[in-house]
Amino acid sequence: MMTFDVCTPTERARAALARIAECGRPEVWIHVRPESDVLADAAAVERRLVAGEALPLAGTVFAVKDNIDVAGLPTTAGCPEFAYVPQVSSPAVDRLVDAGAVVVGKTNLDQFATGLVGTRSPYGAVRAAHHPDRVSGGSSSGSGAAVGLGLVDFALGTDTAGSGRVPAAFNGVVGIKPTLGLVPTRGAVPACADFDCITVLAPTVDLAGLAMSIMIGPDAVDPRSRVWPSDVVLAAPQRPRVGVPIEAQLAVLSDSYRRSFAATVARAEEAGLDIVRVDIAPLLDAARLLYDGALVAERFAAVGDFVTSNPDASLDPTVAAIVRRSAEPAAHEFVRDAGTLVAAEHYAAGLFADLDALLLPTTTEHPLIDDVLADPVEINRRLGTFTNFCNLLDLASVAVPMAGEPGESFGVMTVTPAFGDQVALDIAARVVGSGTAVVAPESGVLLAVFGAHLRGQPLHHQLEALGARFERDVATTDDHLMVRLDSEPPKPGLVRAPGGAGRSLPGELYRLSSAGLGSFLAALPEPMALTAMTLADDTRAVGFTCTPAAAAAGVDITEFGGWRAFIAGVPA
């Protein structure tokens, strides 16, 4: 578990407010909470710590995109006349506060979460954290800049077409876009309700993953809320197979972004990823449906009545035009485009049958604010080239910053099928060269292995195929024997020693899904079996054993002190 012990929650809150005041970036914020309220919350966290509560986020402060409800604070969605004051917070916010994090304020955004640029707001255009002549990216513009500037430890955004990932790229931070429904969207103003999700932006993969893991969980009141499937994959393989677009599909990138992406792909190969070129044309075609097809009608369903009924409101002209036009598609056109998505989903399923993930440039270029103001539609359209299709096709994604050329920021993202969130995070961490975090459920089943399923041994691939996650090295209690069985490939049998004889033998502990364990057991050949066992550190797990007859016929190799030592021929 991460610890935040550099300062107390109150000291961290004071430092954050001081940093916000001295930074001189008012366009990042729509509402900063009064100092007294922030410090009162920090003091409450300290009291909970003294009372013995385990608070994994104690000592952190965070910001919330102003289309997500925080009880008692106005929610504007980037439009002053739309504002309302919710009585309860979004479940995502509540869960973070329950874990010890303190809200410092609400951040600016492209109005009604419509845009990828961060300039479509009456509260001002948000400048990129490190390159203030360039856009911060939208629609989670303020959240991305707040993290990039070090004003908060992490921030919440939303993502329908890339709104949580493009700001990550432009502000040099990590952005996690989970599988739709894993984080409840209750309490978030909808953009396209069927394709919206709440995201997190943070400076590191591990902090982003920690915050995301806390937000994930079903919500009985949210009809779009989802739970992890029984066969969820809990880890990426040691050498993941990762697809990158064919060269022709990278032509949309600026010259500098094309060079940066090529350098990132080379780095990914050095990090142990197996890179293959793939055709993603059907996915790119699907991406255009979000704004150019009838699916845009979802935006009218979200805020169309407000926009058409309030012509004198502080409406961004580009956003208002998009929302008004979204009333035009006919029902049969919506059905047609839904059918197109089904075909694209089928194509994506075929791609991922041979891949663990896609590695894509998060966006196409890092535009200047002046250029976006001069061309507010076409540049925005390009920026969503690689992000727009993800939610339409129910995919998970993690965006990470990578080295860009001078004067601009650059990033890439990993993309996996729904509920492949852990794989996306693990591979993203590998690309960026950092530690990872656990976002997939920690329920699962603990499986202890001692022979041919150990890392580097011939059957380890079976665990990888089931998405098992390595937990730690372990050992049996000191009353076990190991025999070499007559099998192919060679494997040991582990049995309890009669009369208390035997010794402690080393192994590895893995966590895998309950369905994965069932598949593993169904394929287990004789004379192997799985049994409940208690390890030397008192951990309860499922472990291997073999039939008494097989043990009696095997060769006792206990003296070697473990399977690897036996393979090496070195007795302990």
Position 350 pLDDT exceeds 80: yes
Q: Helices H, strands E: what count in the chain?
A: 20, 19
pLDDT at 547: 86
pLDDT of amino acid 4: 62
Name, in order, each residue with C-beta under 8 angstroms of 217's C-beta and a sequence gap of 6 or more.
Answer: 91, 95, 182, 183, 184
DSSP codes of every residue in 79-103: -GGG-B--SS--HHHHHHHHTT-EE
Q: Is the pLDDT of residue 1 over 60?
A: no
Place of tokens 């102003």: 66
CB 304 within 8 A of CB 82: no
Provide the pLDDT for residue 437.
93
**pLDDT given for residue 432 in this prediction:** 97
What is the arithmetic mean of pLDDT over 160-177?
Answer: 98
Stretch 240-254: mean pLDDT = 98
Percent of the chain clearing pLDDT 70 (strictly above)? 99
Sorted by where each begins, the domain ranges of the chain are 9-282+356-432, 445-568
Nearest residue to 506 (alpha-carbon basis) of 486, 530, 536, 484: 536
d(CA 85, CA 212): 25
pLDDT of residue 186: 98
Closest to 471 (Cα-Cα) out of 463, 459, 479: 463
Domain 445-568 indexed as CATH 3.10.490.10: yes
Read off the pLDDT of each residue in 449-456 and give the average, rounded to a whole number.
95
Question: Can you read off the two tokens belonging to residue 484?
Answer: 């070499």
What is the mean pLDDT of the segment spanning 465-485?
95
| Residue 183 pLDDT exceeds 90 | yes
Note the Cα 80 to chain centre separation in Å.
31
pLDDT at 87 over 70: yes
Q: For residue 571, what pLDDT band results from cuts at 50, 70 and 90?
A: confident
How far, in Å, CA of 439 to CA of 465, rounded? 19
128-142: per-residue pLDDT in tens? 999 999 999 999 999
Q: Do you know the residue count of the chain?
A: 572
Q: Which residue has the higher pLDDT, 529 or 111?
A: 111
Q: How far apart are CA 447 and CA 463, in angstroms?
A: 10
The pLDDT of residue 3 is above 70: no
Q: How far apart are CA 388 and CA 360, in angstroms?
A: 12
Burial of residue 346 (number of CB atoms within 10 Å: 0-12, 13-18, 19+): exposed
At residue 499, does pLDDT exceed 80?
A: no
pLDDT tens digits, 252-292: 999 999 999 999 999 999 999 999 999 999 999 999 998 88
**Strand ranges across the sheet with 102-107:** 29-32, 102-107, 61-65, 154-159, 197-202, 174-177, 395-402, 410-417, 357-361, 241-245, 274-278
Distances (CA, A) of 407 to 23, 118, 220, 264, 369: 20, 18, 47, 18, 13
414: phi then psi, degrees, rounded to nearest 5:
-95, 145
pLDDT of residue 498: 80
The tens digit of pLDDT for each residue in 203-232 reads: 999 999 999 999 999 999 999 999 999 999
Percent of the chain with pLDDT strictly greater than 90? 91
- When pLDDT is cut at 50, 70 and 90, the band that residue 507 belongs to is very high
C-beta of residue 297 within 8 angstroms of C-beta of residue 271: no
Between CA 431 and CA 426 the distance in angstroms is 9
What number of other Cβ atoms are within 10 A of residue 43's Cβ?
15
Round the average pLDDT of the chain to a whole number and report it. Answer: 95
pLDDT score for 267: 97
- CA 435 – CA 170 distance, rounded (Å): 22
226 vs 219: CA distance, rounded Å: 8
Question: In whole angstroms, what is the distance from residue 58 CA to residue 93 CA?
Answer: 14
Question: pLDDT confidence of 501, banded at 50, 70, 90?
Answer: confident
Q: Quick one: which of 387, 391, 381 has its CA closest to 318?
A: 381
Residue 311 pLDDT level (bands cut at 50, 70, 90): very high
Strands annotated E in 9-138: 29-32, 61-65, 102-107
Give the pair of three-digit tokens for residue 414: 């990993």
Is 536:449 a contact under the CB 8 Å cutoff?
Answer: no
| SS3 letters across 296-356 | HHHHHHHHHHHHHHCCCCCCCHHHHHHHHHCCCCCHHHHHHHHHHHHHHHHHHHHHHCCCC
Whether the per-residue pLDDT at 2 is higher than 70: the answer is no
Three-state DSSP class for 9?
helix
- Catalytic residues, by residue number, are 65, 139, 163
- Residue range 76-103: average pLDDT? 98
pLDDT digits (tens, 9 = 90+) for 403-418: 999 999 999 999 999 9
Bridge partner residues of 154 (DSSP): 62
Q: Which of 223, 173, 218 is nearest to 200 (CA)?
A: 173
Q: What is the pLDDT of residue 5?
A: 56
Rg (alpha carbons) of the chain, rounded to whole number: 26
CATH homologous superfamily for 9-282+356-432?
Answer: Amidase signature (AS) domain (3.90.1300.10)
Question: Quick one: pLDDT at residue 488?
Answer: 86
Longest dimension (CA), the chain: 87
Dist CA 184 CA 225 (whole Å) = 5
Q: Are 363 and 402 in contact (CB under 8 A)?
A: no
pLDDT at residue 486, as a whole number: 86
**Nearest C-alpha neighbor of 377 from the set 122, 128, 143, 120:** 120
The confidence score (pLDDT) of residue 523 equals 87
